[in-house]
Amino acid sequence: MRLFIAIQFDDVMRKALTGLQQSLRAQRVTGNYTPAENLHLTLAFVGDYDDPEAVLEAIERADFRPTELALAGVGCFGDLFWVGLADNKALQAYVKRLRRELAEAGIPFDRKHFSPHITLIRRVSVPGGGAVPVSEAPIGRMLATHVSLMRSDRGKNGMIYTEIS
């Protein structure tokens, strides 16, 4: 099973993100747009791992507490276009606890520095080249109340994310 730990968005946050996607499509920005139902904030990518119960136990031990998330800024990692989040010390502390619990349980995960972002477009391409034409980041906030263990499967039309718990 290909697993990751994430925060899923409420309808208000998802609408802010898809609104930006619609604006970019109208400006003829192309690429692989993340479907609305797949928009999320990855906290830890586990990858192929066959014991979701152990991952759920690590999530429990890390003790997530509700926290306010706010969209802030946009950018690119190479040809990946993203929307960022406002600095959130509670979220950073949780991710640190979560990753420590995963490590102590011997659960493998991607140890890259946590840089909170939401992927909107992969392989982004702008007509005529240059920067992605965004004058300002979308406005969106939500209270994140829980963390989800997600399964990722390759479908014939892209990735399919399923919440395990």
Provide the pLDDT for residue 25: 94
Q: How far is CA 149 from CA 32, 44, 136, 153, in A?
A: 24, 10, 31, 13
Provide the pLDDT for residue 137: 81
pLDDT tens per residue across span 8-25: 999 999 999 999 999 999
Residue at 107: amino acid letter: I
Domains delineated in the chain = 2-163 (3.90.1140.10)
For residues 62 and 113, is the Cβ–Cβ distance under 8 A? Answer: no
SS3 of 65, please?
coil
Provide the pLDDT for residue 133: 86
Give the pTM: 0.93
Residues of the chain with pLDDT under 70: none
- Find the helix packing angle between 89-104 and 52-62, rounded to 10°: 140
